[in-house]
């Protein structure tokens, strides 16, 4: 009887696990279906894209990639990708530097009114970005920054991405203060302690910040739309929209093909650093 009971219990656990995996697989397929459809649509002819919900095209057509890369302007997508990276790379670097310094100050230094300032910092997370567009546009126009990349890059030097500051502060608060005290005994000042002791431990969190900023900046549409007016300075996000507006009949296979290519850098970087990304988000960097 005991062996029968154990067998039933084992069978029940196996059945429960099978049901869970089936549900996870179904939900996973539903989530990944739009991406698979996008990739399949990029190889379809224009008149086939919206005629079925199937992923595999009836006839593989690569003209969407060829003609889409050429664009309908005097520039190819090579130019727009270079423009995008000219914005994204400095923005990621400046975000890492400024947010790390700001988070270090909030997490470790005793500053008068620090709690009040941190409350204001958290409060800015609740402020809709759209309410800042008009005053920022007026300010940048007065200092002559319009139609340049400066309005998109320079704010990152001032730790304006408060979500990243908050994330790093929470990570730093989970680290033992004894590490820094030991560094001070060895003769390190505050900056040396940050560079040689804390930054290596912060690696998972910093990679998470870099990934978030990279993906958000690659997908940013409103910022370049507001501040950039020259076609030769457009990033990929604006170039994709422009490819839909330049003709009466939208060549959707070209739009889909360029959208797939635009996703590749983010996907490659995400999967390359997935381990550190998960570890950083869960704030468990200290072993």
Pair of tokens at residue 170: 């929470």
> Which pLDDT does position 246 carry in this prediction?
63
Coil, strand or helix: which one is 45? coil
> Which pLDDT does position 156 carry in this prediction?
93
> Which pLDDT does position 287 carry in this prediction?
42
At residue 150, what are phi and psi to the nearest 5 degrees?
A: -60, -45
**Residue 148 has what DSSP assignment?**
S
Taking the C-alpha atoms of residue 168 and residue 98, their distance in angstroms, rounded to an integer, is 11
Q: Of 37, 65, 93, which closes a domain?
A: 65
Q: Are residues 198 and 257 in the same domain?
A: yes
Rounded to the nearest 10 degrees, the angle between the axes of helix 162-173 and helix 114-124 is 130
CB 138 within 8 A of CB 144: no
Q: Of 41, 65, 89, which closes a domain?
A: 65
> In the chain, how many domains are there?
2
Closest-CA residue to 32 (of 218, 261, 211, 267): 267
Q: Are residues 49 and 87 in the same domain?
A: no
Coil, strand or helix: which one is 74? coil
Q: Where are the alpha helices (DSSP H) in the chain?
A: 2-41, 63-70, 77-108, 114-124, 133-142, 150-153, 162-173, 178-185, 190-193, 199-201, 203-219, 222-227, 236-245, 252-272, 274-281
Domain enclosing residue 156, as ranges: 67-281
Q: Are residues 49 and 137 in the same domain?
A: no
Q: Are residues 21 and 11 in the same domain?
A: yes
**Tens digit of pLDDT per residue, the chain (287 long)?**
555 556 666 777 888 888 989 999 999 888 888 888 888 888 888 888 887 778 888 888 888 888 888 887 888 889 999 999 999 999 999 999 999 999 999 988 888 888 898 888 888 888 888 888 899 999 999 999 999 999 999 999 998 888 999 989 988 888 888 888 888 888 888 888 888 888 988 888 898 899 999 999 999 999 999 999 998 999 999 988 887 766 667 788 888 889 999 999 988 888 887 777 666 555 544 44
Q: Are residues 167 and 91 in the same domain?
A: yes
> Which pLDDT does position 22 carry in this prediction?
92
Q: Are residues 229 and 247 in the same domain?
A: yes
CB 42 within 8 A of CB 65: yes
Q: Is residue 228 part of a domain?
A: yes
CATH code where residue 186 lies? 1.10.3720.10
């Amino acid at each position: 009887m005991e062996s029968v009971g154990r067998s039933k219990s084992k069978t029940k656990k196996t059945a429960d696990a099978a049901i869970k995996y089936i549900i996870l697989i179904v939900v996973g397929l539903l989530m990944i279906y739009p991406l698979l459809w996008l990739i399949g649509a990029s190889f379809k002819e224009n008149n086939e894209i919206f005629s079925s919900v199937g992923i595999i095209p009836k006839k593989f057509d690569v003209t969407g990639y060829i003609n889409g890369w050429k664009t309908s302007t005097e520039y190819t997508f090579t130019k727009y990708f270079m423009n995008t990276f000219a914005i994204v790379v400095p923005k990621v670097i400046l975000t890492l530097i400024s947010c790390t310094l700001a988070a270090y100050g909030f997490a470790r230094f005793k500053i008068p009114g620090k709690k009040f300032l941190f409350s204001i910092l958290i409060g800015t997370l609740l402020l809709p970005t759209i309410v800042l567009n008009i005053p920022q546009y007026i300010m940048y126009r007065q200092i002559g920054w319009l139609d340049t990349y400066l309005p998109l890059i320079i704010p990152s030097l001032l730790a304006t991405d408060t979500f990243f500051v908050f994330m790093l502060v929470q990570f730093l608060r989970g680290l033992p203060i004894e590490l820094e005290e030991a560094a001070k005994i060895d003769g390190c000042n505050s900056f040396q302690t940050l560079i040689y002791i804390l930054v290596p431990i912060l690696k998972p969190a910093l990679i998470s910040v870099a990934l978030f900023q990279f993906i958000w900046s690659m997908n940013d549409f409103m910022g370049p739309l507001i501040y950039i007016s020259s076609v030769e300075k457009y990033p990929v996000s604006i170039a994709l929209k422009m490819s839909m507006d330049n003709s009466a009949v939208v060549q959707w296979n070209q739009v889909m093909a360029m959208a797939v290519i635009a996703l590749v850098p983010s996907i490659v970087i995400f999967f390359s650093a997935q381990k550190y990304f998960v570890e950083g988000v869960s704030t468990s960097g200290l072993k």
